[in-house]
Amino acid sequence: MKHIFRHLWLQTLDTWNVFTTELKRIFRDPGVMVIFFLATLAYPVIYKAIYWNEQITDIPVAVVDMSHSQESRAFIHKWNAAPEVKVAFSCTSMAEAEQLLRDQKIHGILYVPHDFAAQLADPFGQAHLSLYCDMSSFLYMKGVYLSCNMVMLESMNSIEIDRYEQMGMGKELAWSLVQDAPYTETALFTPTGGYGSFLIPAVLVMILHQTLLFGICMLGGTAREENKELYRLPGRGYSVFRLVLGRSAAYFLIYYALAAILLIAMPRLFDLPHIGQAGDLLRFIVPFLLATIFFAMSMSVFIRNRETGIVLLISTSLVFLFMAGISWPKELIPDAWRYLSYIIPYTAGAHGFIHINSMGATLWTTRAEYITLWILSGAYFLITCLLFFFIGRYKEQKQPDPLPVLNH
């Protein structure tokens, strides 16, 4: 029994030594400190500053009215009354409006054809409008397109009711044919309907995932450049299990505090959706961080130098964001890519965080993502241990045999 306790104590001491050594490596590396602390805390502030005004108002647009009719003027007046746009120019031709768009004086063009009023007067006619949006910014395009679309839908209802009344129907019957079931639209999880409330929660998880991946890969590349031994075999020092456990504990200690700040404090500080329970979020963070840490440690094995991590960071961030099916509808993503995305911890982490934080789900109702992250944690832990073991053995075999000592 005494021998067993002594063995456990030595194992614990070895793990503690690995843990403290890794913490020293982190805090002695200025680049890693910038990534782990400055970038992780600064990026959310920058993103929120960019999307501080989630709804852009008074977007300048131009109108090319070739109809010059009462109906066209009424439509333009309603569109100009929308808070998103402001009719800043009334042009006589499309060429004039296109030049204003090239000069960035406007961000949208509405073209009304000459037969607009005639088509509306015809009981079987169909009037057409052409809307051109500035795609250089999603927020401009969203404001111009949605405001024009809402005015168009309202006008269509009025036109249909007028046509039904001309056919001899009463107003109540005409209204019931246009709208069978009255409804009220309510935005449940993004009350402002803004881009920031929709995307920034997913970006917060991406920041945690990518800075952790970049920082661990940077540490691995630095060790490779300095020829430091990171893969000690059992019997030659620390075991692979204790090595992986000690190093991952150092990363987890730092990032659990950072994750609590980013995922719990910042949504409340920046007035983002935050209707979930903090306790559920704190428990959900655990498997997400472990899966990300072991994923990053397994990736760091293939990093040859310090600068490779930045290439990995830039090349994967947008890919992971799109594959997760948040900024792009997952129904439009090919099945192969969607299934592939589940091997990345970010996918389950982002969906689970949004469910709990923005939609008020509990940990039980988010159990699919929660269990997925625990499975990924175990899988990447085994992969990391195997990679460390085989690379350590390979390095041992590559080392030259020591020269014999001659006795004089």
Q: pLDDT (tens digit, 9 = 90+) per residue, 120-158?
A: 777 777 888 899 998 887 778 888 988 998 888 877 767
- Which pLDDT score is estimated for 327? 77
Contact assessment for residue 70 and residue 44, using Cβ atoms and an 8 Å cutoff: no
Contact assessment for residue 249 and residue 173, using Cβ atoms and an 8 Å cutoff: no
Collapse the DSSP code of 277 into the 3-class scheme (helix H, G, I; strand E, B; otherwise coil) and give the result.
coil
pTM, to two decimals: 0.78
* Token pair listed for 350: 């982002």
Query: Do β-strands 108-112 and 85-91 pair in parallel, antiparallel, or remain unpaired?
Result: unpaired
- Positions of CATH 3.40.1710.10 in the chain: 59-178
Neighbours of 91 (CB within 10 A): 18
Collapse the DSSP code of 342 into the 3-class scheme (helix H, G, I; strand E, B; otherwise coil) and give the result.
coil
* Distance separating alpha carbons of residues 84 and 144, to the nearest angstrom: 7
Orientation of helix 345-353 relative to helix 278-300, angle to 10°: 170
Coarse DSSP helix, strand, coil percentages of the chain, rounded to the nearest 5 percent = 65, 5, 30
Query: Which segments of 193-344 does DSSP mark as H helices, in order?
Result: 195-225, 240-260, 266-269, 278-300, 308-323, 335-341
Q: Give me the average pLDDT of each 10-residue run along the chain (408 residues).
A: 63 81 90 90 84 80 91 90 91 92 92 87 81 85 88 76 66 61 68 73 91 90 71 58 90 95 89 87 95 93 78 78 81 85 93 91 93 96 89 65 44
Contact assessment for residue 273 and residue 361, using Cβ atoms and an 8 Å cutoff: no
Orientation of helix 2-27 relative to helix 240-260, angle to 10°: 50
Element (H or E) spanning 64, and its range? Answer: strand 59-65
* Distance separating alpha carbons of residues 189 and 199, to the nearest angstrom: 12
- Which pLDDT score is estimated for 6? 62
Task: For the chain, give the longest Cα–Cα distance.
Answer: 123
Query: Which segments of 301-344 does DSSP mark as H helices, in order?
Result: 308-323, 335-341
- Which pLDDT score is estimated for 171? 62
Contact assessment for residue 214 and residue 313, using Cβ atoms and an 8 Å cutoff: yes
User: What are 21-29's contacts with CB under 8 Å, separation 24+?
Assistant: 21/246, 22/246, 22/247, 22/250, 22/251, 23/250, 23/253, 25/219, 26/215, 26/219, 26/250, 26/254, 29/218, 29/219, 29/222
- Cα Rg of the chain, angstroms: 30
Taken in order 74, 76, 77, 83, the sign of the CA dihedral is positive
Q: Nearest to residue 376, comparing CAs of 386, 364, 384, 365?
A: 384
Q: What are phi and psi of 85, to 5 degrees?
A: -125, 165
The architecture CATH gives domain 59-178: 3-Layer(aba) Sandwich (3.40)
Angle at 216 between CA 213 and CA 219, to 5 degrees: 145
Neighbours of 51 (CB within 10 A): 17
Neighbours of 345 (CB within 10 A): 29
Collapse the DSSP code of 130 into the 3-class scheme (helix H, G, I; strand E, B; otherwise coil) and give the result.
strand
